[in-house]
Amino acid sequence: MSDALVILLGTIFVNNFVMVQFLGLCPFMGASQKFDSAVGMAAATTFVLTLACAVSYLLEHYLLQPLGLEYLRIITFIVLIAALVQFAEMVIRATQPLLYQVLGLFIPLITTNCAVLGVALLNVRHNHSLFESIIYGFGAALGFSMVLITFAAMRERQTAADIPGPFRGAAINMISAGLLSLAFMGFTGMNG
């Protein structure tokens, strides 16, 4: 159980997928404009990412490896993630119409969130068991959610700031993201 905790905390803080490994930057920048859509995006990504890790483990170990089809891993995982995103979209549309309206375009974008594919592939590389894979995916998703929501709150505050003209918009967000990443470097070396 303590192993699970190490993986969980490690993926949330020490190896945060956005701030330390620089994966999933597109939704991090794209969905952090409004606080509420950031929360929705975080929840949807957590759902997809955790599920993707479980199913990709099963596909890898019960389909690809027995048949010697490891070279099809990337394409299989992409298709799997796309299917899961479709599934998530249907769930959200049926249960949370309001959230669906807010998120709209962003849900299909989870497919192209490289963190999702990245985590699934890293699970294979690290030889994680099914349980470890799920924890790894869940931790990655929590780390992504935390950073996304924090960043959205930061951006909302900056709408009132007197930012120099050339730095408004994307430029200052890049700088904020860089400084946040700088702060995360404080966790360096904590791999338990």
Partner 1 sequence: MKLDTQRIMLNVLLALVPGVSALAYFFGAGIIVNIVVAGVTAVTTEALILRARNRSLNTLRDGSALLTAVLLALALPPLLPLWMLVAGTAFAIIFGKQLYGGLGHNPFNPAMVGYAALIISFPLAMSSWPALGEPIAFWDILITKAMPNSGIDAVSGATALDVLKFRGALTIDETWTADQGFGHMAGVGWEWINAGFLIGGIYLLATRTITAMAPFGMLIALTVCAVLFYDSGSSQSLGSPLFHLFSGATMVGAFFIVTDPVSSPDSAMGLWIFGLGVGMITFLIRAIGAYPDGLAFAVLLMNALVPLIDHLRLRRT
Q: Which of 3, 83, 153, 169 binds partner 1 (CB under 8 A)?
A: 153
- Kindly state the smallest distance separating residue 35's Cβ from partner 1, in Å: 6
The tokens 């709150």 sit on which residue? 153
In the window 79-118, what residues touch partner 1 (CB under 8 A)? none
Q: Which of 2, 67, 157, 170 binds partner 1 (CB under 8 A)?
A: 157
Q: x/- site string to partner 1, residues 21 to 50, per CB under 8 A?
A: --------------x---------------
Distance CA 118, CA 126 (A): 12
For 97, the enclosing helix (H) or strand (E) is helix 97-103
Phi, psi of 185 (to 5 degrees): -65, -15
Contact range with partner 1 by CB under 8 A, out of 82-90, 120-128, 134-142, 151-159: 151-159
- Binding flag, residue 170, partner 1 (CB under 8 A): no
Distance CA 115, CA 113 (A): 5
The amino acid present at 44, given as its one-letter code, is: A
CA angle 143, 110, 102 (to 5 degrees): 95
Considering the complex, state which of residue 104 and residue 186 has its C-beta at the smaller distance from partner 1: 186
Q: x/- site string to partner 1, residues 120 to 149, per CB under 8 A?
A: -----------------------------x
Residues 6+ apart with CB under 8 A from 27: 41, 45, 106, 109, 110, 113, 148
Contact range with partner 1 by CB under 8 A, out of 21-29, 49-57, 101-109, 182-190: 182-190
- In the chain, the largest separation of any two C-alpha atoms, in whole Å, equals 60
Contact range with partner 1 by CB under 8 A, out of 77-85, 88-96, 101-109, 181-189: 181-189
Residues 6+ apart with CB under 8 A from 191: 10, 14, 15
| Positions in the binding site for partner 1 (CB under 8 A) | 35, 149-151, 153-154, 156-158, 160-164, 167, 172, 175-176, 179-180, 182-190, 192
